[in-house]
Amino acid sequence: MTERMAMRAADEATPALMVDLRTLDRNISGMAEFARRAGVQLRPHAKTHKTAEGARRQIDAGARGLCVATVGEAESFADAGFSDLFIAYPLFADQARARRLAALAERTRLRVGVDSPEGATALGRAASSSPFQVLVEIDCGHHRSGVIPAAAAAVADAASRAGLEVIGVFTFPGHGYGPSMPARAARDEAAALEEATTRLEAAGHAVAVRSGGSTPTARHAVSDVVTELRPGVYIFNDAQQVALGTCPPQDVALSARSTVVSAPVPGRIVVDAGSKVLGADRPAWVPGHGLLRDVAEATITSLSEHHGVVAVAAGRPAPRVGDIVQVIPNHVCTAVNLVDELIVTSCGAVVDRWRVRARGRNA
C-alpha cells in the first residue's frame, strides 16, 4: 500500500465512485458458490467493472473465464493476463477487426458470438489464420440481437461453411429487467436455448455450451439446460437490482460519494453527482435517478450532467450544504465507464485504487 493510498475515504474529492471491498468480495463469493451448487460454469461479464482486479477476484473465486462485449475489452483483459474470453456479441469483422480477432485468438482461448450468415462469413476471414470458436446468439424474448431458435441452424451452417467451429448457443434474457420479470425471463431463456439446441443438433452441430444469465435472472436459471452463466452487475449491484428485488441495499458495493452543493428552497437539495458520474439510465420502474443511502424519504427527481436534484419529504431532516451523501447509481455498468479509477475502501480507509482499464473500449 503506497502512502497515497493510505487515506481516509473522507478525504476524497467529490463526486467519486467508491467501492466497499467487503461487500464486493461477499457478492463475488456468493455468486461463485451459487454457480458451484447449481453445477453451471460461471463466466462473469467484465464490462461491469472493467478492472483487472475485479476480474482476478472473480477467477480466484472459481469463475472459468470472462465475458466481454467488444474486441477492445477483450484486448484490455488479454493484456492483463486473462486468457479465456467470450465476446458475447454478434461482431461484424471488417478487415481491421478481423486482424485484431486473429491476434487475440493467438494468445487467448477465444469465443465469439454470431447471429447472421453475413457475420459468420466475415468472422471466417479472421479465423482463417488463428481458429476460434463461435456460439450462435438466440433471442429469448429481449428482442435485441440474436435469432429466433428456428433460425439458429441456418446461422450455424453458415458459420461452419466459413470455417468456424460452432460449440453452442447463447442468449441474454434482458427482458428480465422489469418488475416480476426475472423468473419468467429465466424460463424463456431455458426454453429458447433448449429449442435452439434441438435445431442445431438436428442439423448436425454438437452443442456443448448453452450460455445464459444476467444478474436478475441468474438465480432463477434452469440449470439442467444452462451450462454457463454470464452475470455482470452482481459484483457491485445497483439501484436497478434493489428495485428488482435481486438484492437488498446493503449488498450494493459501489456508490458515488457526493457533496450537497445547493439547498435553494425547503424540500430540495442538489448534490454534485449528476449523469456524468452516475450515468443516465432510468427505467420507469426504478424510483428515481439513483438511491440516496442514509437519507430517509428522499428521491433523486432529475439529473443534469453535474447536478442531482433531490426532493426530501416535508418534515424530514434534509442534508445541508457541504454535507456528504452516498448515491447508488441506477445502472452500475454505465457509471463505472465514466471514471478512470474506482476508489476501494474498507472500514472508512482507502485501501486501493483500481484502474478502469477497459473504460471507453467500445470498438
Binding site for a second copy (CB under 8 A): 11, 13-16, 47, 69-70, 89-92, 94, 96-97, 115-116, 118-119, 122, 137, 139, 143-148, 151, 174, 259-265, 268, 270, 272, 275-277, 279-282, 302, 304-307, 309, 320-322, 333-334, 337-340, 360, 362-363
How far from each other are the two terminal CA atoms of the chain, in whole angstroms? Answer: 34
CB of 276: closest distance to a second copy in angstroms? 5
* C-alpha separations of 15 from 33, 70, 152, 208, 242 in Å: 34, 28, 46, 46, 22
Nearer to a second copy, 97 or 210 (CB): 97
Given a contact cutoff of 8 angstroms between Cβ atoms, the answer to whether 6 and 349 are in contact is yes
3-state secondary structure of 40: coil
Cα–Cα distance measured from residue 245 to residue 329, given in angstroms and rounded to the nearest whole number = 16
Nearer to a second copy, 40 or 69 (CB): 69
CB of 70: closest distance to a second copy in angstroms? 6
Given a contact cutoff of 8 angstroms between Cβ atoms, the answer to whether 331 and 303 are in contact is no
3-state secondary structure of 303: strand
CB of 341: closest distance to a second copy in angstroms? 10
Nearer to a second copy, 40 or 155 (CB): 155
CB of 111: closest distance to a second copy in angstroms? 17
CB of 22: closest distance to a second copy in angstroms? 25
316 contacts: CB under 8 Å, gap ≥ 6? 296, 297, 298
Nearer to a second copy, 174 or 213 (CB): 174
> Which residues face 308 on adjacent strands?
271, 303
Nearer to a second copy, 41 or 258 (CB): 258
User: Would you put residue 347 in left (φ > 0), alpha (ψ -120 to 50) or beta?
Assistant: left
Nearer to a second copy, 10 or 206 (CB): 10
Nearer to a second copy, 184 or 307 (CB): 307
Lookup: cell for 175? 427482458
CB of 215: closest distance to a second copy in angstroms? 14
CB of 264: closest distance to a second copy in angstroms? 5
* C-alpha separations of 35 from 67, 218, 229 in Å: 15, 9, 8
Nearer to a second copy, 32 or 147 (CB): 147
CB of 229: closest distance to a second copy in angstroms? 18
Cell 442534508 found at: 319
208 contacts: CB under 8 Å, gap ≥ 6? 167, 168, 227
Evaluated on CA atoms 44, 49, 53, 57, the torsion sign reads negative
Q: How many CB atoms lie within 10 A of CB 143?
A: 10
CB of 102: closest distance to a second copy in angstroms? 15
Which uninterrupted H or E stretch holds 157?
A: helix 152-161
Nearer to a second copy, 61 or 256 (CB): 256
Lookup: cell for 8? 481516509
